[in-house]
Amino acid sequence: MRVISTEELEQALGAIALEQPRVVASGNHAAPRALLDALERSRERYRLFMLAAPAPLPAREGVIFETPFVGPGMRGAGERLDYLPMRLSLVPRLFATIRAPDVVLLHTSTPRGGKVSLGIEVNVLVAAIERVRARGGLVVAALNPRMPYTFGDSELDEELIDLAIEVEEELASPASGGGNAQADQIAELVSQMIEDESTLQLGIGQIPDATLRALADRRGLAIWSEMISDGVMALERHGSLDRATPIVCSFLFGSQEFYEWVAENPRLRMARTETTNDPARISAHRRMVSINSALAVDLRDQAGASHINGRLYSGFGGQPDFTVGALHSPGGNAIIALRSWHEKSDSSTIVPRLADPVTSFQHSAVITEQGCAQIFGRSQRAQARLIIEHAAHPDAREWLREESASMGLGATTPTPTA
């Protein structure tokens, strides 16, 4: 690894002998801003691959975005966005085949003992680095003393990095949503499906945060998740987690206190996406409980989390991987948790049939603030009835019963489930 100036980096990036190199960069809250700015100043044309890319990103001709999970920085890019509809666990295979990267831009810790750490974001980056090294491409790091040094697949030998610049910038944190009565209601229902000694996967947001708060009295829990945030730190402090089992995730973000907690924490093991999101590895865990949300759920128990009214919003993410893995775990459950009513659009989140792409299906339960629809193993008619009577908002139920009847899924009035 050779530490250089920003000006020298711009020269190196500008000298790449490709008309439109494919650049993979750290995403989420680990975006390497200084490197992205240098890239923009040095290249007229390039393809930028990031997961959940934050804003702002260049909005101009010559820059093509690529991602299987759209973030604010790429959302609304129109024809300049190449959305890749695929499970995150398969992205490393993508790099090894038809979309091989030419450059990788990393946001890392400062060196320690001949290594740096990817800190809060591992994800698909290790696979990208391996592919670029095999092809003779370029690996660049922004060395930031504020990036927490984490262990596991996040640790890289310095020799894997060609060039580096030194930066010092505070890591971004998600905006705090605070408490919410509906989220607390949903969390209480979700928590009733989680026993002691379960293994958990949760995302980010009010409902996952509330669910973790509701689990403070559990004991022997384990974490095997695509991502974690402050709620896991709170569980650890409550004594809810099994101290003999490492906390495993692929990326993380949260408060500044959380970043201090993860730094050099021997309990935390960062793992590459093809490890955390492998359905076979997920299913091997005890009482694996996957808790995900959706933008809408239909009467056939299909969950949509990637599109809103035909417009791309995010992507499949890890939801399909964890839903399948949890359902194959002994004693496992795959839960979809969401509010029954979308306030901004003044519409039901339970719909007769999804018009947008399906993210996952065949769940153990659909849970809203209205109740819990236990649907695994039920007939399609029973599924529809349970979702209407136990998960849908009361204002939508009569409409849903009528639509259910027209679809051949049930009568227009509530009937016993079977």
Domain ranges of the chain: 2-166, 181-406
Q: Which pTM was predicted?
A: 0.95
The percent of residues above 70 in pLDDT, for the chain, comes to: 97
Say yes or no to pLDDT of 417 above 70.
no
Query: For residue range 220-266, what is the model confidence (pLDDT) as tens digits?
Result: 999 999 999 999 999 999 999 999 999 999 999 999 999 999 999 99
Q: Of 10, 226, 236, 403, which one is the catalytic site residue?
A: 226
Share of the chain above pLDDT 90, in %: 94
What's the CATH number for 181-406? 3.40.1080.20
Instruction: Quote the strand ranges of 118-213, DSSP E.
Output: 138-143, 151-152, 155-157, 163-166, 199-202
pLDDT at residue number 205? 81
Say whether pLDDT at 101 is over 60.
yes
Residue 412's pLDDT is 54
Topology alike, domains 2-166 and 181-406: yes
Which residues lie closer than 8 Å to 351 by C-beta, 6 or more apart?
Answer: 296, 297, 298, 299
Question: Could you confirm whether 7 is annotated as catalytic?
Answer: no
pLDDT at residue 418 in the model: 56
Whether the predicted pLDDT of 411 surpasses 80: no
- Token pair 């227009």: residue: 412
Stretch 163-190: mean pLDDT: 91
Q: Among positive and negative, which fits the CA dihedral 232, 233, 237, 241?
A: positive
Confidence tier at 413 by pLDDT (50, 70, 90): low
E strand residue ranges, 147-283:
151-152, 155-157, 163-166, 199-202, 222-223, 227-228, 247-249, 251-252, 268-270
> In a 3-state reduction of DSSP, which class is residue 372?
strand
Residue 59 CB: number of other CB atoms within 10 A? 12
Classify 2-166 by CATH class.
alpha beta
Q: What is the pLDDT of residue 256?
A: 96
> 204 falls in which pLDDT band (50, 70, 90)?
confident
Q: Are 205 and 293 in contact (CB under 8 A)?
A: yes
